[in-house]
A and B are shown apart, each in its own frame.
Chain A
Amino acid sequence: EAQVTQNPRYLITVTGKKLTVTCSQNMNHEYMSWYRQDPGLGLRQIYYSMNVEVTDKGDVPEGYKVSRKEKRNFPLILESPSPNQTSLYFCASSHRSGAVTIPTDTQYFGPGTRLTVL
């Protein structure tokens, strides 16, 4: 089954304790992205990756890191989480059509990770 998986689905942690949220897709998609969703603010893009070893900042990258060592995986790393990073996080992936660098193809979203930082 074609899907995007995220782990963990729920996480409660404390300020300053490094954590990683994994994201994996089995559709051979080039483009992967992380979003956070906060009430009243909608989905905001944190980081995205056009392909292996290529990552770029979205609109709210502060406090986050990502890596894209393999095509299928795009982990989100919080080196020193703070309470303002409490949020619902989504990973998404899509194809990149040929030479077109913009993800006009449909994005497939993972199930979400609800993170609470105390």
Chain B
Amino acid sequence: ILNVEQSPQSLHVQEGDSTNFTCSFPSSNFYALHWYRWETAKSPEALFVMTLNGDEKKKGRISATLNTKEGYSYLYIKGSQPEDSATYLCAFNEYDTDKLIFGTGTRLQVFP
């Protein structure tokens, strides 16, 4: 069974702080890594899909990096705002399979 792990499980930061969290996945048979943002009572929304080792993606104050050789991805949020409060999920595609394996998420709360 493939294991996708996210850390920390939860994070509380002050408005204006920058923060980052980790997604670890199997380094063999990598195909793609997805990041999603999931606000309470809403549906998950896609942030990034990354496929190449060394990929860096950016969307406003949120960015992500990918290291497929060692099996991890970082998500960074610069200058956190209360509206960034959500659960951030990563999901792993293994090569030659159609399944998407999700981590359990990092729950971020940003206090004003």
Q: Which residue numbers of A lie inside 8 Å of B, CB to CB?
A: 31, 33, 35, 40-45, 48, 50, 56, 58-59, 90, 101-112
Contacts and interface: CB of A to CB of B under 8 A. Distances in A.
B81 to A, nearest CB: 23
A107 B34 contact: yes
B71 interface: no
B104 A102 contact: no
Contact of A102 (B46, B95, B102): B95
A104 B93 contact: yes
B66 interface: no
A40 B89 CA distance: 13
Interface in B53-112: 89, 91, 93, 95-105
Given A42-B102, A42-B104, A42-B105, A110 B43 contact: yes
A17 B83 CA distance: 41
29 contacts: A40-B104, A41-B104, A42-B104, A42-B105, A43-B89, A43-B91, A43-B102, A45-B102, A48-B100, A50-B98, A58-B99, A59-B1, A59-B101, A102-B31, A102-B32, A102-B97, A103-B93, A103-B98, A103-B100, A104-B32, A104-B51, A106-B49, A107-B34, A107-B44, A107-B46, A107-B100, A109-B44, A111-B43, A112-B43
A45 B100 contact: yes
A31 B102 CA distance: 17
B45 interface: yes
A102 B98 contact: yes
B101 to A, nearest CB: 7
Contacts of B102: 35, 42-45
A56 B44 CA distance: 22
Contacts of B100: 33, 45, 48, 103, 107
